[in-house]
A = this chain, B = another copy of it.
Amino acid sequence: MPYFDAASAAPLHPVARQALQASLDEGWADPARLYREGRRARLLLDAAREAAADAVGCRPDELVFTPSGTRAVHSGIAGALAGRRRVGGHLVVSAVEHSSVLHAAAAHETAGGSVTEVPVDRRGAVEPAAYAAALREDTALACLQSANHEVGTVQPVAEVAEACRAVGVPLLVDAAQSLAWGPVEGAWSLLAASAHKWGGPAGVGLLAVRKGQRFAAQGPVDERESGRSPGFENIPAIVAAAASLRAVRTEAAAEAARLRALVELIRARVPELVPDVEVVGDPVARLPHVVTFSCLYVDGETVLHELDRAGFSVSSGSSCTSSTLTPSHVLRAMGVLSEGNVRVSLPFGTTAEDVELFLEVLPGVVGGVRERLGVPVAAVARPARDAVVVDALGKRCPIPVIELAKVIGEVPVGGTVTVLADDEAARLDIPAWCEMRGQEYVGEEPADRGSAYVVRRLS
């Protein structure tokens, strides 16, 4: 049963399991105590900190363990902003950060701070010059992920870090998706990561703060973790996290080459096997294990459900999955198709057979969903009308785009189709459909309900 959602959570690495088991006996006591059980726990904690710092590329006294990557991001952003309060209250983030960064940015705005979101291109990357241009005299902190969690695009961290350093702004890097593969290059000031992304146990994040970086931990603190992460340390999990990070690093180069080949296979074959697919993310500067594509005329929820029935666990940034009504902010910021979105992220050890099997199953799954939704297979010649209006009000993704595709053949080249829709995904997916199908997206006009999206037939 292939699990292809390592970017959400990787299965526990065997080394993590061994280390966890062993340290349950040695690491349960309070490391602040002076008796033997406390001293043993302290030794384990110190050794784990050294191993993790070595993998991150920082000093052990620059690194603290937190209860999760999310908490590391929250604490890192709050502490760095407070430490530079005198400089100002401006925060810069990319538009495609993990939600933990965007939630922290929103909390900062609620508290009276200001936030600039640096846009990304269609590949999902920030442009270093554009990022640099967002830095201001009152910028207290800048944040940039090392690589995107939804589409795998690697960000130009070293260039952005250099631009930040040039104007004295600290850069916090969310390295959650990339730390398994290697340290983050460049002159970052703070770094956050999450153990369960690299095969460590849940319950462990890490936050590195470079010496000399102004930092004022927010909220109540205690004497734990240099006053930066309150609460009793979870030492067995910390030991397992550090041990598995070290283990995955020894395998990283070989495994990256192997998984990259499998990802290349998916990127190349999916558009051949499934019509009307957009593969998203940078084709070259990308994580070795993540590949994302979107399929016209299907909804993400049904595709995920059908793939799950076929034995494949994948993720989606579509609006019509789980409880969300809006497409993923990452796909939106990239301006790419969101409907029928599928993210495949391969855990360490994924076999070529499993990927081949996935490629066998996928076309039937997507085709089946399209058939049930009545997607037009080919345009039928009909009496031409210069302009057609399609009412898709109240219809959810992917119906508005399907309705558009059904009628585009009814207008002559040069004629227009206007789609009335109130589904949030239409704003992203109708222009994306136009780009994929070589039609002209004229624009969006206000309407009594929802919006009117105007498309001109070019071919």
Q: Which positions 191-229 of chain A face chain B at CB distance < 8 Å?
A: 194, 196, 201-203, 205, 218-222
Tell me how far the C-beta of A105 lies from the nearest C-beta in chain B, rounded to whole angstroms.
8
A11 within 8 A of B: yes
Q: Name the contact of A203 in the complex, choosing from B3, B106, B234, B301 (C-beta under 8 A).
A: B234
Distance, CA A103 to CA B70, complexed state (A): 22
Tell me how far the C-beta of A296 lies from the nearest C-beta in chain B, rounded to whole angstroms.
22
A3 neighbours in B (Cβ, 8 Å): 29, 35, 37
Contact A68 B322 (CB under 8 A): no
Contact A194 B232 (CB under 8 A): yes
Q: Name the contact of A9 in the complex, choosing from B24, B103, B222, B232 (C-beta under 8 A).
A: B232
**Per-residue interface assignment for chain A, residues 312 to 355, with 1 indicating a CB less than 8 Å from any chain B CB and 0 otherwise:** 11110000011000000000000000000000000000000000
A231 neighbours in B (Cβ, 8 Å): 67-71, 100, 205
Q: Name the contact of A34 in the complex, choosing from B103, B222, B321 (C-beta under 8 A).
A: B321
Distance, CA A252 to CA B38, complexed state (A): 26
Given contacts A202-B235, A237-B237, A313-B38, contact A107 B68 (CB under 8 A): no
Q: Which positions 148-200 of chain A face chain B at CB distance < 8 Å?
A: 194, 196
Contact A36 B1 (CB under 8 A): yes
Tell me how far the C-beta of A200 lies from the nearest C-beta in chain B, rounded to whole angstroms.
10
Contact A24 B20 (CB under 8 A): yes
In the assembly, how many copies of this chain are there? 2
| Range class of the A interface residue count | 35 or more
Chain B residue, CB-CB nearest to A70: B231
A393 within 8 A of B: no
Contact B35 A222 (CB under 8 A): no
Distance, CA A313 to CA B40, complexed state (A): 13
Contact A104 B34 (CB under 8 A): no
A304 neighbours in B (Cβ, 8 Å): 34-35
A78 within 8 A of B: yes
Distance, CA A29 to CA B231, complexed state (A): 24
A17 within 8 A of B: yes
14 A-B interface contacts by CB (under 8 A): A3-B37, A8-B30, A8-B33, A21-B21, A34-B322, A35-B304, A68-B232, A70-B222, A71-B230, A74-B219, A78-B219, A194-B232, A201-B236, A234-B234
Which A residues lie at the B interface, using CB under 8 A?
1, 3, 5, 8-9, 11-12, 17, 20-21, 24-25, 28-30, 32-38, 67-71, 74, 78, 99-100, 103-104, 106-107, 194, 196, 201-203, 205, 218-222, 230-237, 301, 304-305, 307-308, 312-315, 321-322
